[in-house]
Amino acid sequence: MKNMKMEMKNIKENQSEMKNILSEMKRILKGINRVDKEEVQTIDIEDGEAKDNQSEQQEKRSQDDNTNLRSLWDTSHCKIICVIGVPEGKQEIEELFEEITMENFPNLLKEIDIQAQKAQRVPKKKNPNRPTPTHIIIKMPTIKYKDGLLKAARQKQLVNYKAASIRLADDCSKESM
């Protein structure tokens, strides 16, 4: 019996030690869980920041793509108008173009400021057997101006310069670019 009492005493001491160890383990486990939760929260925050950075990069890439598309559109659509049938004279070509637009499209000049960026007289095709009239090639600052002028010319149907009928045409030939 004494032996049994001793064993019971040892078991109770072991049990109290086990309870202490178990409570210590619970406390450590709670600390670890708290650290894990904080890590998960920081990872979530970092993921959110990474997603924000990705969306900003995608937006910037989209803007760059739009800019590239606009410049490609501008270069692929020429800004050149060919004026056909103007008699040759000693007048400056830029002034001649301004006179034509003032005479035929006064309302258009009030809406937009049409100015030639570059103008020159060029024969369309040279034929040594016949006199070849030269056309005036005018490079406009933007496609918008060229389109507005051609649209007004189509609506008017008859464009004149000093009682001579002339024609405005879209010129996208390789020679004139």
Burial (Cβ within 10 Å: 0-12, 13-18, ≥19) of residue 31: exposed
pLDDT of residue 38: 83
Q: How far apart are the C-alpha atoms of 64 and 75, rounded to whole Å? A: 17
> What is the pLDDT at residue 115?
62
Six-digit token string for 136? 């005036």
pLDDT of residue 67: 81
Which SS3 state, helix, strand or coil, does residue 137 take? Answer: strand
H-only helix segments in 90-173: 93-104, 106-111, 143-156
Q: Please report the pLDDT score of residue 7 as a whole number.
A: 85
Length of the chain: 177
pLDDT under 70 in the chain at which residues?
Answer: 71-77, 89-91, 109-134, 171-177
The percent of residues in the chain predicted with pLDDT above 70, rounded, is 75
* pLDDT at 119 (0 to 100): 62
Taking the CA atoms of residue 106, residue 108, residue 112 and residue 118 in that order, the dihedral angle to the nearest 10 degrees is -80
